[in-house]
Amino acid sequence: MNLKVKGICFRYGSREVLRDVELEARSGEILAIIGPNGAGKSTLLRCINRILKPYPGSVFLDGKELFRLKAQERAQMMGYVPQASGEVFPCTVFETVLMGRKPHLSWGVGKGDLEVVGAVLQRMGLVGFAERYLNELSGGEKQKVLLARALAQEPDVLLLDEPTSNLDVKHQLEVLELVRNVAQQQGKCILMVMHDLNLAARFSDQLLMLKDGLVFAAGNPQAVLTPENIKAVYEVEAIIVPTSLGPYVITTKASDSLVNSGDKHQQVAVAAAAGSR
């Protein structure tokens, strides 16, 4: 399944947030949306998912225009994980993941639905958490549950809004490894909003860089994460260290000290550290 976004525009009142945004994402790959605060990243995801209504703009999945489908049909094809859970009432992990089956339910939960949820819990390493309540979990555990709920929808496309926000380094890597496995092993098309440029470079196949609601650059991490692009979009100086895991960005004072000191050993140490991430 290939996702194509054409001409997405959106306004909050008189303030233009997105202007003529276009992108293409393929199944089995991760496209990370990056850019400074206020660039329109989360708004773009909500427009793609029809939480917000763009005007104009269209979203196509293998040539089928999603905005012409009913909400339930869209939910069967597209899963969304927001920045934070909106859970108010206490639910167990099992109940939370089972909610992902809602777009497929007619008269009630069937054997097939329970099998899907069981398989997702197994795949995500959550079987031991099934009877625990969501509000008893750590941030990383809760994020895995929300991702599992989206997977239980069995969508072709996953939209993830800052999936590593408020997580420590260990859980950031764990969640992103899971996301990459989902893309590669299950052939999902994944779009995720990211703030950390180095994590985006490491775990994404393609990047879409936004500035003031416009697409500033798009392509693979090596093409997008250049000193010139970073300075123009983020207004900071940067150097790029090539590593086996992708480009590693060092900004502002860190880059100045490396460039000005001329300390080759220090530069090699930074590159080695970046490669071990």
pLDDT at 87: 58
Q: What is the pLDDT of residues 177-186, one digit of tens each?
A: 989 998 998 8
* Mean pLDDT, range 163-185, rounded to an integer: 88
108, 135, 134, 130: which is closest to 119 by C-alpha?
Answer: 130
251 to 120, 157, 195, 241: CA distances (angstroms)? 39, 33, 14, 11
Q: Distance between CA atoms of 160 and 158, rounded to whole angstroms?
A: 6
Domain 2-235: assigned CATH number: 3.40.50.300
Domain ranges of the chain: 2-235, 236-277
Q: Distance between CA atoms of 214 and 41, rounded to whole angstroms?
A: 10
Q: What is the pLDDT of residues 6-37, one digit of tens each?
A: 999 999 988 999 999 999 999 999 999 999 99
141: tokens are: 């555990």
* DSSP β-ladder status, 2-12 and 15-26: antiparallel
**pLDDT confidence tier of residue 111, bands split at 50, 70 and 90:** confident
Is cis: bond before 56, omega within 30 of 0?
A: yes
Percent of the chain with pLDDT over 90: 51
Sign for the pseudo-dihedral over CA of 169, 171, 174, 179? negative
Q: What is the pLDDT of residues 35-52, one digit of tens each?
A: 999 999 999 999 999 899
137, 132, 184, 188: which is closest to 158 by C-alpha?
Answer: 188
Judged against a pLDDT cut of 80, whether residue 256 lies above it is answered with: no
216 to 107, 202, 242: CA distances (angstroms)? 47, 20, 22
pLDDT at 257: 52
**pLDDT confidence tier of residue 166, bands split at 50, 70 and 90:** confident
